[in-house]
Structure 1
């Protein structure tokens, strides 16, 4: 499986910026990612913290 360009902590930081009110298109432009990636991350990691994401990835492997 392809490895993400973004680390778990970067993904969490981007999702927290969106929760604080930064528009999604602006976030995507700033971080050089597609809006589809953002919405996929939000569906998969929404409401989690970094330790929960690491645990989930360990279980997937």
Structure 2
């Protein structure tokens, strides 16, 4: 997945500007984003505050790390079962 040019905090600032009444076209032009990108951000991060976004990012990172550990454990378990079946 492609990483955004803007951080989560910057995205939330852009969304707050939009909520404050700045026109969509002006906002997209000043920040160099498309109209569709702004609407996708609004659908995803519309109600988040800065501290919530940081917490969500840390939870996502931890979740990704735990999923990787689980996948490795399942793979090791499957390999051990194969060795037992062959013996």
Which interval holds the TM-score relative to the shorter structure? 0.7 to 0.9
After the TM superposition, which parts of structure 1 deviate over 2 Å for at least 4 consecutive aligned residues? 54-61
The aligned residue for residue 45 of structure 2 is: 45
Structure 1 residues 14-46: Cα deviation after superposition (integer angstroms, max 9, x where no partner): 001111110001100011000111000000001
Structure 1 residues 35-59: Cα deviation after superposition (integer angstroms, max 9, x where no partner): 1110000000011112212222333
The aligned residue for residue 7 of structure 2 is: 7
* Greater Rg over alpha carbons, structure: 2
Unaligned segments of structure 2, at least 5 residues: 62-87
- Aligned-pair CA distance for 1:9: 1.4
Q: Which has the higher helix share?
A: 2
Count of matched residue positions in the alignment of Structure 1 and Structure 2:
61
What TM-score, normalized by structure 1, do the two folds share? 0.87
- Aligned-pair CA distance for 1:2: 1.1
What TM-score, normalized by structure 2, do the two folds share? 0.64
Task: Say what the alpha-carbon RMSD is for the aligned residues.
Answer: 1.1
Instruction: Give the number of the structure with larger relative contact order, counting CA–CA contacts within 8 Å between residues 6 or more apart.
Output: 1
Unaligned segments of structure 1, at least 5 residues: none
